Structure 1
Amino acid sequence: MTVALTMLALFILLAIGMPVAFALAFAGTLGLYLVGGWQALSGVLATAPLSSVESYELISVPLFILMAEFVILSGVADRLFAAAATWVGRVPGGLAMATALAGAGFGAISGSSTASAATLSSTTLPAMLKQGYEARLSGGVVAISGTLAMLIPPSIALILYGIIADVSIGALLIGGVIPGILVTLVIIATVWVLVLINPAAAPKGRAYTVREKLASLRVVGPMLFLFMAVTGVIYTGIATPTEASGLGAFGAFLIVLWERRLTRAGLSKALVHAAHASCMIVMIIVCAKIFGYFFTLTQSTQALVAWVGALDVSRWVILALILLGYLVLGCLMDQVAILILTVPIVLPVIKALGFDPVWFGVIVILMAEVGLVTPPVGLNAFVVARYAKRPLAEIFGGVWPHVISHLLLVAVLVAFPQIILWLPSKMGG
């Protein structure tokens, strides 16, 4: 009864618009008081803040966010689309395909899907509309391409999952590489099918000479430098993810200097944005810890694992129900909050069923990608609509084909887990 009352309080607070962190803290405080009284509550409140943020790996979150801000400041992200368009722009739907490639490139040097969506909205969407692309197709591909930063390392979402689940962050980040490439190809294939069905939705672009194509590759240099400074050193075992985050932030700062884009105002803006985003994430982690203590005292997780173990159904049915739950939650809540709220509860069940936690982490992030573009919350769709000044319904209308293709890819990755696990198994020590 206490668990049901506490969960009801949490969902009511979230429904009325209370920030996720404060809703978790309030509901957790209520539950702890009902279960253990003031003594249990005061003990948790005294220790939870420090124990929540003492993890060494947590340092990587603000550093990767700062790296993303420096990448935006350098202007490299803006030129990624132009380079991709030079190579594939002549193909029907080429600019939309270039948007997916630019999203993957930005994801490889940034861990923020929101920053990726905002950057793509201000560069790729106007270019597509100017060339006569259908607005729904354009908005949909921009929104879904922005989510690639959640999966392709360095991914803030995978880092948070690793911290919460106590799983190797390096293995998670490397595990996101092949699925990230596959998602990019799926987006491109979806665009190709949509243009095949309706050729008028995406006219052909202009042709470029070989010299122009080769010249466009200059932007790839800084991207490869940053990718190797982060993912390369993690894969080879030269540096831990936390150390790689410092290298990445410093490397992105060097690119800003190289591009001669460093100004006092720009630096101040990057630092402030990184601090705001980092504080928000840390606040959610601290408040979720309070809520987590409530579940520990009530032994709700152990009871759930025992109940699931007693069910006379296939483990694949249970996994399908869990993923369906993530899909529904993704339509209603912020992805960071979903990870922090659900992983401590769901992961013991996943382990008890015999599934690999690294594999499950990548699958969960893929489901979170879908949640980022589905109504009513769909954060990336809101970001695209705001930055591009387009109707929100138009963006949501354009993402549905991509949602379907994403879910088909999830089914493939569930059926063949080695697609995710092969690359982490080859990592250097």
Structure 2
Amino acid sequence: MSSALIGGLGLAGLIVLLVLRVPVAFAMFAVGFVGVSVLGSVDSALSLLASETFTLSSSAELVVIPLFILMGNIATVTGLSRKLYDAAYAIVGQVRGGLASATVVGCGGFAALCGSSVASALTMGKVSLAEMERFRYDPRLSTGSVAAGGTLGILIPPSTGFVVYAILTQQSIGRLFLAGVLPGILLALLFILLITVISTLRPDLGPVGPRTSLREKARALVAALPIILIILMTIGGIYGGIFSPVEAAAVGAALVILTGLITRRLSLADFWTAVRDSVMTTATVMLILISAHLLNPFLALSHIPQMVGGFLTGLDIGPYGILALILACYIVLGCFLEGFAMLVLTMPIFFPVITGLGFDPIWFGVLVVLSLEMGLISPPVGVNCFIVKSVAPSVPLRTVFIGILPFWAMMLVALVLLVMFPEIALILPDSMIG
């Protein structure tokens, strides 16, 4: 039996395990370990498992994951994340679709704290869906804005998606964080533009919210000032070269904890809950990364990446045609696979092709992460849609999926703009890091 055939059977087995709802990390571990054992030896598979586990567990760069996750969890339990929404609500809530726009702004701000799309959708959904229901927003617009706004968590830095991409491709986490800023702002503005247009054409979908006085606006901004300053200090510290991403994560987590203690909003029970959730999320990410580093050697031994790369480069469609085909694969796979699973499965295959074509790997990382965002709201898997459904159990899942379709189209527009104008993603890392 040829190595390519064994590799194909391994990938088929992986897909079957994922369809059977076997956790991604365990599915990749099983296929990678068995595959390396068959194409190499059991001893080599055991040696690889031990070495990769130790290497990843001792990687200083990965410390950003638990620290930023802890930062977001503390902000949630102390109510700091709600302050972001309240400030956006006070400023734009009185215009048509303003509550939905405030939700997008709040999701963007919270994304700059936790780097998690699921956490952004869950947190903002809890604080905004009840308000939009109270002011008779159409469920399609309200749930769509929460599900789509939550996806900003994987693009606006700090992003766990960028961290995983950086580890898999040996790229700079700092450059990737910088590259995600303008695309994240662009996507948020496209979402707000969409909400404004929909609410203008169909006033019944996004009614006018309550007016707030200048004093009320100022009060809301002052209340949100601590969390805004923390965001500016941590993310701005990275951009200004004051902190490394790891140092910024530590500073941000410490400041959020300190703010919670000073304001007496952080109890010991809340702190324990935030730490426990952070450990569980971090362990999940680490298991996926360790399993990926076991699966990738199996794919290399099977020569499947080289075969797929040769097939793609042999197509007479030009470099951008190949790029479009790869991005289309991500969009389709996003309908069935979880984002991290897509990254670890496809990077060994597609990344050599992209670098061989001369495309910038940082720019490609932004395109990939944006494609992963699209998968987060794509049926039938659409994790963020299920998160929103759990927060709004009275809204049918079909309504949620209908509501996200216009936002999904805006994400496709953003993807096309980034392909046409790579400078949107590259201008900050090229000018600030070089």
TM-score normalized by the length of structure 1: 0.97
1:235 aligns with 2:239: yes
2:133 alignment counterpart: 129
1:356 alignment counterpart: 360
SS at match of 2:432: coil
2:71 alignment counterpart: 67
- 8 A contact 2:68–2:113 mirrored in 1: no
1:186 alignment counterpart: 190
The answer to which of 301-310 and 27-36 deviates more is: 301-310
How many Å apart are 1:428 and its aligned residue? 5.1
Cα distance in 1 between the residues matched to 2:13 and 2:43: 22
1:375 alignment counterpart: 379
2:20 alignment counterpart: 16
SS at match of 1:119: helix
Query: What is the identity percentage for the equivalent residue pairs of Structure 1 and Structure 2?
Result: 39
Q: Cα deviation per residue 1:95-133 (whole Å; 9 max; x = unaligned)?
A: 111111111111122211111111111111110011011
Using a 3 Å threshold, how does the CA distance of structure 1 residues 299 and 16 change in structure 2: closer, same or farther?
Answer: same
- AA aligned to 1:335 is G
The answer to which of 44-53 and 353-362 deviates more is: 44-53
SS at match of 2:40: helix
How many Å apart are 1:413 and its aligned residue? 0.7
Q: Cα deviation per residue 1:262-317 (whole Å; 9 max; x = unaligned)?
A: 11110110010000000011011111111111022233323333333333221111
- Determine which of 340, 346, 359 is the counterpart of 1:342: 346
- 8 A contact 2:96–2:203 mirrored in 1: yes
Using a 3 Å threshold, how does the CA distance of structure 1 residues 78 and 197 change in structure 2: closer, same or farther?
Answer: same
How many residues are treated as equivalent by the alignment? 429
- 8 A contact 1:111–1:149 mirrored in 2: yes
Q: Structure 1, unaligned stretches of length 5 or more?
A: none
Using a 3 Å threshold, how does the CA distance of structure 1 residues 46 and 217 change in structure 2: closer, same or farther?
Answer: closer
The answer to which of 29-38 and 175-184 deviates more is: 29-38
Cα distance in 1 between the residues matched to 2:331 and 2:387: 20
- AA aligned to 1:30 is V
2:432 alignment counterpart: 427
- 8 A contact 1:99–1:142 mirrored in 2: yes
- 8 A contact 2:187–2:410 mirrored in 1: no
SS at match of 1:364: helix
Q: Structure 2, unaligned stretches of length 5 or more?
A: none
How many Å apart are 1:200 and its aligned residue? 1.0
How many Å apart are 1:211 and its aligned residue? 1.5
Q: Cα deviation per residue 1:191-223 (whole Å; 9 max; x = unaligned)?
A: 112112311111111222112112211134223
Cα distance in 1 between the residues matched to 2:82 and 2:398: 26
How many Å apart are 1:90 and its aligned residue? 1.4
- Determine which of 197, 204, 209 is the counterpart of 2:201: 197
1:115 aligns with 2:122: no
Aligned-residue CA RMSD in angstroms? 1.5
Cα distance in 2 between the residues matched to 1:274 and 1:407: 32
How many Å apart are 1:41 and its aligned residue? 2.6
1:206 alignment counterpart: 210
Matches within 5 A, 1:13-412: 13-389=17-393, 390-412=395-417
- AA aligned to 2:12 is L
- 8 A contact 1:174–1:231 mirrored in 2: no
- 8 A contact 1:73–1:256 mirrored in 2: no
Cα distance in 1 between the residues matched to 2:222 and 2:430: 33
TM-score normalized by the length of structure 2: 0.96
- 8 A contact 2:238–2:244 mirrored in 1: yes
- 8 A contact 1:183–1:409 mirrored in 2: yes
- 8 A contact 1:92–1:205 mirrored in 2: yes
Give the 4+ runs in structure 1 shifted more than 4 A. none
1:416 aligns with 2:416: no
Using a 3 Å threshold, how does the CA distance of structure 1 residues 94 and 425 change in structure 2: closer, same or farther?
Answer: same
- 8 A contact 1:305–1:352 mirrored in 2: no
How many Å apart are 1:42 and its aligned residue? 3.2
How many Å apart are 1:380 and its aligned residue? 0.7
